[in-house]
Amino acid sequence: MSKRVLTTESGAPVADNQNSASAGIGGPLLLQDQHLLEKLARFNRERIPERVVHARGSGAYGYFEVTDDVTGFTHADFLNTVGKRTEVFLRFSTVADSLGGADAVRDPRGFAVKFYTEQGNYDLVGNNTPVFFVKDPIKFPDFIHSQKRDPFTGRQEPDNVWDFWAHSPEATHQVTWLMGDRGIPASYRHMNGYGSHTYQWTNAAGEAFFVKYHFKTNQGVRSLSSDQAAELAGKNPNSHQTDLLQAIERGVNPSWTLHVQLMPAADAAEYRFNPFDVTKVWPHRDYPLQRVGRLVLDRNPDNVFAEVEQAAFSPNNFVPGIGPSPDKMLQGRLFAYADAHRYRLGVNHTLLAVNAPKATTAQNYGRDGFMASNSQGRAAKNYEPNSYDGPTETGRALSAPLSVTGYTGTHEAPQHTKDDDFYQAGELYRLMSPEERSRLVANIAGGLAQVSRDDVIEKNLAHFHAADPEYGRRVEEAVHALRED
């Protein structure tokens, strides 16, 4: 069997891939060595800007299978038949650290699913927590700046982290999640995933429901203590990536059961919490979980850079039957995610194999830009409407319209009867066992005690006191004990 021929990027055969062309033996190299210049120039450009957040990621392909009839709530095609399967790609990630960070750290985890449906790609961009730190996107850049490396010291600073939280009482709920036992998953396979935001489903009759997504791991939830995580991160920074890769390679395919909470649209205005506030959950006793289907991962990417690093998820990628809600953070992300990908990957990133539709074909009038390959055929027009049988609009909205009233301006979210920043954080604390509470207190105190300003510490302690008196007292005592040592 003859060997395949190594070629340049233009397809010309390479005669020597071991020695550069030179002016005589031992002489200077020649500018005319096209193969050398091409290799070096390409090598210089192999790295693209990493994601500002969620930089450190792993991913896999699989499928989603419908197990329960939900056609009374949504007319989304990929959910219309029990037993129907849709190919998916799922990317896991840490949030705050860089691409070179360790997997086993205390940080929320991204849980982003791309459904390759027959009506186009549907992207569900969530986390492994049902809530988030802030409720308005205008605060998001400041929040991330406070959590990332300080521009002077070049490291994450407890002063910055806790100072932002001191001035953002709405973060108390998510801080309680993050510092609790589920703050460091043992692996990507052993954590739940959540849509976190509130979305909208619309059925065939036009009835609207607000929906929250819950992916429950079928492997069981397993987490690491701070000490276990520190040891694992030092021994194997790639622990979660390795675990996911090896599990799928040996046929132990991880899976999750998707449940949803469904709220009739008419309930939203009078619900005791603002249902569109991403710092809040909907208690299950109000809106019980309803099973939808099963997500299975069964194939690893062939190339991590091409398929994981270049995977682009945008929460504005909806399909008929699914749409947005007035969730402010979601509204901001509808723009921010797609814009981030245009910056990192270019305007034609949707043509990359991992991002392109698989069960249908994208037909539009987008043209040109870097790495354009979207000619749409010979003599195809790049405008609409036209007289040349180009693709046309359907006139059918993807989801039900949202009612709006009032004046433009910068408004705080409308208040509901139980809308404070501390009630649900206290509820979460009171759900914990005594051992879980002790670990939570120790984790918070370990970070808060490192803060240099007393006023920042006191502001944070006030949040925990407001959530639950015992919670606040125990954190305060633990912080004072650590600072006296």
Query: What positions carry a catalytic annotation?
Result: 54, 127
Q: What CA–CA distance (Å, rounded) separates 386 from 178?
A: 54
Decide: residue 152, CB within 10 A, 0-12 exposed, 13-18 middle, 19+ buried. exposed
Quick one: angle between helices 226-235 and 239-249, nearest 10?
80
- Name the β-bridge partners of 79: none
Output 368-374 pairs: Cβ under 8 A, ≥24 positions apart: 370/346, 371/346, 372/348, 373/348, 374/348
Q: What is the DSSP letter of 101?
A: S
* Residue 465 three-state SS: helix
List of residues 6+ apart from 449 with CB closer than 8 A: 457, 478, 479, 482, 483
Tokens 């036009």 -> residue: 206
CB atoms within 10 A of CB 40: 12
Alpha-carbon torsion 426, 431, 432, 434, what sign? Answer: positive
CB atoms within 10 A of CB 155: 8
Tokens 């976190």 -> residue: 196
The count of residues in the chain is: 485
Q: Which of 404, 473, 443, 13 is nearest to 229 (CA)?
A: 443
